[in-house]
């Protein structure tokens, strides 16, 4: 309890006009022992991932743009540019989304949130013009810029943290001097606001169909700058529809079943 009390009391007040919602949630989080144990387990099992940019066998699909996207994001303090690695079936598709979606867009649930394009490098909102890369006429010779991402806002203020925020700097400094037990508590507090601590195998972000559906999408695609063709392409994308057929990790699906 002494360690937990230490972490609850260690934060210094941050004086700012708007405190990001994620910061408020971290400060107010009181993770239970199950969440702390799960964090400790993840930290023990963590292995650094080395990303090879020059592969012995080049990829079949043409690659454009930079691997690193928005390193100013608070999540990038610990996570790699391609953070999804465990779910073999979906990790590639999830990592593709990293190029244009902020982590909190998928991993924070709040019905009051709105979503806008945010330039992480210049720290400003963008209109979304020419930022969608889906549809029939895509010029791969001119890739979209990597910094703008669709990110969540509440009352016109960003809910997510940046590395440059004083609170984020305090966390990074505390992590460097913390022991294993203290890191487990801190890890649990940081991730408490996310769709993460519901169980060992149930900490993913929102389901694909939250955005990829033509009934009620979480994203206001026209407001984000998508034209009618792009809206339809996002809402009826074949890959999310394919993944919906799987009910568990061990399931195998035939082409006949997929076409039903």
Return the H-helix or E-strand segment holding 34.
helix 33-45
Question: Which whole number is the average pLDDT over 52-73?
Answer: 67
d(CA 152, CA 160): 7
**To which residue do tokens 């700012």 refer?**
16
Q: Looking at the predicted structure, is the pLDDT value of residue 228 above 70?
A: yes
Q: What average pLDDT does range 167-189 have in this prediction?
A: 95
Model confidence at 105, in pLDDT bands (50, 70, 90)? very high
Residue 172 has pLDDT above 50, yes or no: yes
Percent of the chain scored above 90 by pLDDT?
A: 38
Judged against a pLDDT cut of 50, whether residue 15 lies above it is answered with no
| Rounded mean pLDDT, 89-104 | 87
Separation of CA 54 from chain center = 25
Residue 51 predicted with pLDDT over 60: yes
Better pLDDT: 94 or 50: 94
Higher pLDDT residue, 243 or 131? 131
Residue 222 is classified by DSSP as T
Average pLDDT, the chain: 81
- How confident is the model over 203-219, as a mean pLDDT? 84
Question: Does residue 188 carry a pLDDT above 90?
Answer: yes
Top pLDDT among 83 and 7 is at 83
Count CB-CB contacts under 10 A for residue 118: 24
- For residue 169, give Cα distances in angstroms to 24, 74, 77, 152, 159: 15, 9, 10, 21, 17
Q: Tell me, what's the pLDDT at 14? A: 44
The answer for residues whose C-beta is within 8 angstroms of residue 134's C-beta and 6 or more apart is 230, 233, 234, 237
Predicted pLDDT of residue 56: 64
CA pair distance 23, 159, nearest whole angstrom: 8
Does residue 10 carry a pLDDT above 60?
no
Instruction: Provide the CB-side half-sphere exposure for 19 (13 A, CA).
Output: 13
Does the pLDDT of residue 141 top 80, yes or no? no
Residue 123 has pLDDT above 80, yes or no: yes
Can you give the pLDDT at residue 17?
47
| pLDDT on residue 53 | 66
Report the alpha-carbon distance of residue 31 to residue 198 in Å, rounded. Answer: 12
């Amino acid at each position: 309890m002494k360690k937990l009390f230490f972490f609850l009391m260690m934060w210094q007040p941050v004086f700012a006009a708007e405190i990001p919602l994620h910061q408020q949630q971290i400060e107010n989080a009181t993770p239970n022992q199950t969440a702390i144990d799960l964090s400790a387990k993840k930290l023990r099992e963590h292995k650094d991932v080395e990303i090879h940019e020059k592969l012995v066998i080049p990829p079949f699909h043409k690659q454009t743009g930079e691997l690193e996207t928005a390193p100013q994001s608070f999540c990038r303090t610990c996570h790699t540019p391609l953070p999804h690695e465990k779910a073999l079936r979906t990790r590639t598709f999830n990592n593709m989304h990293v190029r244009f979606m902020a982590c909190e867009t998928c991993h924070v649930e709040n019905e009051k949130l709105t979503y806008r394009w945010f330039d992480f490098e210049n720290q400003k909102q963008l209109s979304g013009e020419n930022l969608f890369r889906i549809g029939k006429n895509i010029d791969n010779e001119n890739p979209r810029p990597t910094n703008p991402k669709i990110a969540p806002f509440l009352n016109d203020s960003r809910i997510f943290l940046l590395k440059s925020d004083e609170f984020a700097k305090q966390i990074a400094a505390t992590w460097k001097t913390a022991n294993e037990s203290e890191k487990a508590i801190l890890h649990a507090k940081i991730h408490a606001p996310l769709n993460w601590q519901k169980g060992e195998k149930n900490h993913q972000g929102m389901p694909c169909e939250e955005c990829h559906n033509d009934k009620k999408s979480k994203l206001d695609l026209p407001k984000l700058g998508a034209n009618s063709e792009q809206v339809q392409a996002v809402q009826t994308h074949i890959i999310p529809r394919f993944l919906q057929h799987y009910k568990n990790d061990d399931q195998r699906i035939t082409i006949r079943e997929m076409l039903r």
